[in-house]
């Protein structure tokens, strides 16, 4: 068997390499940083696929058929260098100069025209960049959003809801209003704009860099982002041959294993990267356990100097039980890990709330260097998803007995983004492109557990008169959801409808740069069509809605001027953004919502940057007004809510502790503020980073609010004046600092401090939003890296989050009126529904690179 495998590998190698001419020359040399040898530096013959890497002593040997040419030498954290070689076989010692960070141009290998990364601050935008080493250090057992926690105007919360349940706001705008891109592919949901991080668990392992461009930014794509644009970038084609195995453990029985391998750039022009991860844990809150896998495959092919191709496939099948808010009094009495979703069903204590999902994503990038002045970048992508969320369904008018059901949200999504870039002359640069998307979502309920019953009666689908007996149940295993799903109407419960969304946009940008002065103007126009087809509330053949077409556009521009170490910039933009389909059709029917108009956004921004060898600082001021906005929130029903929204006291409509949902239409918000971030490098091995944000985010004017129960039945419609009410979900004042000290022996220490103030709950009401207590957190970690050989490195990492075990509230979903008997904790009425933050947690990892 071993001989057959060896023969197979040899045959594949021959197929890939083909007929390669024998080398005519051997070049030798040594790579150092001026004091020490550099192991693992990449040495490549320019214009060819011939290359090698330096050994543990910095030495290298390179065979080439060229008598003369250019050598390109690169090593992470050092400036690249080019030199000429001739027939002389020894080129001596090459000294690479250390740099503060790796060039982003070295990271973005494919999709250069559609992966919208800003290098430094050459374009006038507010930007923060988080690199590979920082991602590995800061995330641990948390969601990928944890890497952005020490960024101005970014607030991360809700991790306590369960694995992958964190939420992120930027300048006070939630995730549905911040654009997220993976190698140029949009990943926000087309129906509601949301991002569920449980579906993107693998980003922690595959992201080479994360960059957030806050505000309207200077993105040249037709992306409707208000809070900002966040780019996740992976790379493949330049990776050195090798791989790694890592094992992580953490609090609450968390464990994760990852195996990855990269072929590097082969002589055939191919490069392959593959990764597989398995993780599981009990979850921080009670009964919020979960498990899943991540997989990643990237195949790159450098056809020649003009064409570069890359195919990436990734996915993160997972399941996890969910936590939610509870009364503050419950957390104070039962501990911060208390989970209000835990209940007793048929004598067994369990948590019926469960998320399960599998969302494979594939994208194909093609870069074409047409000439020295022109290039074309294109990404074609597809996303297929199966899964949903399970909950407990009590007996009511629709079901004759209680059962567990899952709200299923499947989709298939195809798209293409293409961008042509042209350098007009030494000062002017121009690009134009298009963005096309086609989306279909399936939404229905299915039974997952009949709780011991042989069958349960169900009534509701207008095409199935009378009572239908439910006998079939369906899996919550994310790997099996592709085949185990109801094909007939009898097993699609509660609702059954499809969403169809078609989107087409064009965009262009003109840039100018000369003698320290830069300017850009960007514009885009798009058309979006929405169709809804319902198979549950309408007779067969009558459930297709009319087509709703909305035109949108944006225009933005900016100027900057750099003199020596100083840069000043300003930009402005306007958006007319189409509403999401979930807001177009009312009451989960085909009725068109007249309140769902285009959202109108105006953004202004000023900034200053100073950069030097030892100190960098950025200061930004912004103002964003947002009209015709649609927002949503949810809460547990209080006794006052039941009295207000269910005056007939019908238990099938609403009882205390049921979930209720609020949809707000016609909202206007005004967000303005200041941002500061800096980096100090006083001596080698030490770095101090700091940030601060001061925001003033308020509602302005009236809002129409529709209140619904869990079955999506409308309970009430109200009109409220929210003028000067604070926007919630994020701290309007935040600041912090982080330090890292690295010793020459491979040992490093790091710590971060963050404080949050002026934090408000997510449920606005006339007069005020619930003001939550201030809190501060300290995280710390220690890393050790041992260079075993020029190819093998052993890395150890241990970190602690919330080092001092602070008790704090991250969010509140109610706004209870105090009474004479009210009790308080840090000024908060304890009957309010809140979400607590994690206490002290820890994570440790070991990684072997080979």
pLDDT in tens, 55-80: 767 888 888 877 778 888 877 656 67
pLDDT in tens, 489-539: 999 999 999 999 999 999 999 999 888 898 989 999 999 999 999 999 999
Q: What are the C-alpha distances in Å from 143 to residues 175, 260, 370?
A: 14, 20, 40
pLDDT at 317: 97
Q: Which range among 176-180, 575-579, 770-774 has the greatest average pLDDT? A: 770-774
For CATH 2.40.170.20, the residue range(s) in the chain are: 242-849
CB 441 within 8 A of CB 487: no
Residue whose entry in the numeric block shows the structure tokens 């690009």: 431
- Cα 216 from chain centre: 18
Among 72-76, 217-221, 281-285, 756-760, the range scoring the smallest mean pLDDT is: 217-221
Q: Tell me the pairing of strands 178-182 and 228-233.
A: parallel
Cα 198 from Cα 186, distance rounded (Å): 17
Question: Minimal CA–CA distance to 676: which of 719, 737, 603?
Answer: 737
CB 364 within 8 A of CB 379: yes
Cα 124 from Cα 118, distance rounded (Å): 10
- Report the top-level CATH class of 242-849: mainly beta
Q: Tell me the pairing of strands 326-327 and 833-836.
A: antiparallel
pLDDT at 18: 42
Cα 53 from Cα 157, distance rounded (Å): 43
For 797, what's the count of Cα atoms within 13 Å in the CB-facing half-sphere? 25
**Which SS3 state, helix, strand or coil, does residue 103 take?**
coil
CB 610 within 8 A of CB 566: yes
Among 119-128, 171-180, 238-247, the range scoring the smallest mean pLDDT is: 119-128
How much of the chain, in percent, has pLDDT values that exceed 90? Answer: 53
CB 264 within 8 A of CB 239: yes
pLDDT at 167: 92
pTM score over 0.75 = yes
Cα 116 from Cα 511, distance rounded (Å): 14
Report the mean per-residue pLDDT for the chain.
87
Cα 248 from Cα 846, distance rounded (Å): 7
Q: What are the C-alpha distances in Å from 28 to residues 41, 83, 90?
A: 14, 13, 5
Residue 284 has pLDDT above 70, yes or no: yes
Cα 356 from Cα 318, distance rounded (Å): 6
pLDDT at 10: 45
Residue whose entry in the numeric block shows the structure tokens 């050092």: 78
pLDDT at 163: 94
Tokens of 590: 């085909």
pLDDT at 442: 97
Among 197-206, 394-403, 476-485, 585-594, the range scoring the smallest mean pLDDT is: 585-594
pLDDT at 690: 97
- The separation between the first and the last C-alpha atoms of the chain, rounded to the nearest angstrom, is 25
Position with higher pLDDT, 747 vs 177: 747
Query: For residue 373, what pLDDT band results from cuts at 50, 70 and 90?
Result: very high
Question: What is the CATH superfamily name and number for domain 2-95?
Answer: Carboxypeptidase-like, regulatory domain (2.60.40.1120)
Residue 182 has pLDDT above 50, yes or no: yes
pLDDT at 11: 45
Query: For residue 257, what pLDDT band results from cuts at 50, 70 and 90?
Result: very high
Position with higher pLDDT, 246 vs 817: 246
User: Residue range 140-159: average pLDDT?
Assistant: 92
User: Residue range 258-268: average pLDDT?
Assistant: 87
pLDDT at 223: 66
92-97-101 Cα angle (round to 5): 140
Q: In what order do the strands lie in the sheet with 59-64?
A: 59-64, 25-32, 90-95
pLDDT at 593: 81
Cα 406 from Cα 421, distance rounded (Å): 47
Cα 746 from Cα 39, distance rounded (Å): 14
Q: What are the C-alpha distances in Å from 799 to residues 101, 504, 736, 737, 782?
A: 23, 46, 18, 17, 6
Cα 302 from Cα 313, distance rounded (Å): 18
For 760, what's the count of Cα atoms within 13 Å in the CB-facing half-sphere? 20
CB 520 within 8 A of CB 84: no
pLDDT at 8: 42
Residue 98 has pLDDT above 70, yes or no: no
For CATH 2.60.40.1120, the residue range(s) in the chain are: 2-95
Position with higher pLDDT, 628 vs 736: 736
CB 781 within 8 A of CB 750: yes
CB 643 within 8 A of CB 654: no
């Amino acid at each position: 068997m071993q001989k057959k495998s060896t023969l197979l590998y040899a045959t594949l190698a021959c197929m890939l390499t083909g007929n390669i001419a024998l080398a005519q020359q051997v070049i030798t040399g040594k790579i150092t940083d001026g004091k020490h040898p550099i192991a693992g530096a990449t040495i490549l013959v320019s214009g060819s696929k011939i290359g090698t890497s330096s050994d543990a002593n910095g030495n290298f040997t390179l065979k080439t058929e060229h008598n003369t040419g250019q050598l390109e030498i690169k090593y992470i954290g050092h400036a690249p260098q080019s030199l000429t070689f001739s027939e002389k076989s020894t080129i001596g010692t090459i000294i690479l100069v250390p740099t503060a960070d790796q060039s982003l141009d070295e990271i973005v290998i494919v999709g250069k025209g559609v992966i919208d990364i800003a290098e430094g601050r050459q374009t006038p935008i507010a930007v923060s960049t988080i690199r590979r080493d920082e991602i590995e250090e800061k995330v641990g057992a948390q969601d990928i959003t944890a890497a952005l926690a020490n960024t101005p105007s970014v607030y991360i919360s809700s991790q306590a809801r369960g694995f992958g349940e964190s939420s992120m706001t930027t300048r006070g705008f939630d995730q549905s209003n911040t654009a997220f891109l993976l190698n140029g592919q949009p990943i926000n949901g087309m129906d509601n704009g949301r991002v569920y991080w449980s579906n993107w668990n693998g980003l922690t392992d595959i992201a080479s860099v994360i960059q957030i461009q806050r505000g309207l930014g200077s993105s040249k794509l037709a992306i409707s982002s208000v809070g900002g644009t966040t780019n996740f970038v992976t790379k493949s084609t330049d990776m050195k041959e090798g791989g790694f195995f890592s094992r992580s453990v953490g609090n609450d029985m968390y464990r994760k294993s990852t195996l990855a391998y990269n072929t590097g750039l082969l002589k055939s022009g191919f490069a392959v990267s593959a990764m597989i991860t398995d993780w599981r844990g009990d979850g921080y809150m009670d009964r919020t356990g979960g498990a899943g896998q991540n997989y990643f495959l990237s195949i790159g092919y450098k056809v020649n100097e003009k064409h570069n191709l890359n195919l990436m496939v990734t996915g993160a099948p997972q399941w996890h039980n969910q936590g939610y808010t509870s009364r503050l009094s419950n957390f104070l009495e039962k501990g911060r890990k208390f989970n209000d979703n835990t209940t007793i069903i048929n004598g067994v204590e369990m948590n019926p709330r469960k998320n399960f999902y599998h969302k494979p994503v594939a994208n194909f990038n093609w870069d074409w260097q047409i000439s020295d002045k022109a290039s074309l970048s294109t990404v074609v992508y597809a996303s297929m998803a199966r899964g949903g969320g399970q909950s407990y369904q009590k007996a009511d008018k629709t079901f004759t007995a209680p059962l567990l059901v899952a709200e299923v949200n499947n989709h298939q999504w195809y798209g293409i983004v293409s961008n042509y870039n042209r350098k007009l002359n030494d000062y002017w640069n121009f690009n134009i492109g298009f963005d096309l998307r086609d989306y279909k979502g399936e939404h229905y309920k299915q039974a997952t557990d009949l709780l011991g019953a042989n069958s349960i009666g169900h009534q509701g689908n207008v095409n199935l008169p009378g009572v239908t007996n439910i006998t079939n149940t369906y899996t919550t295993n994310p790997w099996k959801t592709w085949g185990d799903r109801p094909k007939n109407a009898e097993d699609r419960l509660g609702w059954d409808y499809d969403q169809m969304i078609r989107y087409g946009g064009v965009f262009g940008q003109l840039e100018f740069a000369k003698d320290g002065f830069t300017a850009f103007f960007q514009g885009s126009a798009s058309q979006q069509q929405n169709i809804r087809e319902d198979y549950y509330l309408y007779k067969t053949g009558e459930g297709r809605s009319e087509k709703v077409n909305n035109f949108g556009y944006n225009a933005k521009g900016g100027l900057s001027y750099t003199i020596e170490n100083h840069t000043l910039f300003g930009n402005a933009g306007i958006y007319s953004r189409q509403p999401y389909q979930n807001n177009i059709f009312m009451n989960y029917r085909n009725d068109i919502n007249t309140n769902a108009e285009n959202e109108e956004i105006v953004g202004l921004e000023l900034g200053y940057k100073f950069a030097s060898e030892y100190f960098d600082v950025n200061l930004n001021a912004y103002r964003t007004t947002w009209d015709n906005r649609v927002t949503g929130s949810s809460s547990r029903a209080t006794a006052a809510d039941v009295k207000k929204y269910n005056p007939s006291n019908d238990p099938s409509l609403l009882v205390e502790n049921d979930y209720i949902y609020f949809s707000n239409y016609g909202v206007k918000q005004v967000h303005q503020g200041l941002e500061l971030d800096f980096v100090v490098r006083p001596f080698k091995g030490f770095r101090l980073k700091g940030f601060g944000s001061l925001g003033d985010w308020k509602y302005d004017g009236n809002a129409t609010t529709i209140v619904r129960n869990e079955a999506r039945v409308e309970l009430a419609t109200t009109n409220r004046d929210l003028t000067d009410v604070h926007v919630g979900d994020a701290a309007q004042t935040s600041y912090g600092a982080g330090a890292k000290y690295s010793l020459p022996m491979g040992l490093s220490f790091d710590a971060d401090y963050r404080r949050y103030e002026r934090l408000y709950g997510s449920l606005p009401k006339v007069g005020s939003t619930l003001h939550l207590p201030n809190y501060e957190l300290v995280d710390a970690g220690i890393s050790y890296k041992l260079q075993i050989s020029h190819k093998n490195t052993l890395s150890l990492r241990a970190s602690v989050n919330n080092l001092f075990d602070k008790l704090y509230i991250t969010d509140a979903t109610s706004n209870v009126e105090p009474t004479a008997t009210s009790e308080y904790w840090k000024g908060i009425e304890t009957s309010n529904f809140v979400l607590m933050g994690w206490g002290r947690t820890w994570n440790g990892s070991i990684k072997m690179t080979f």
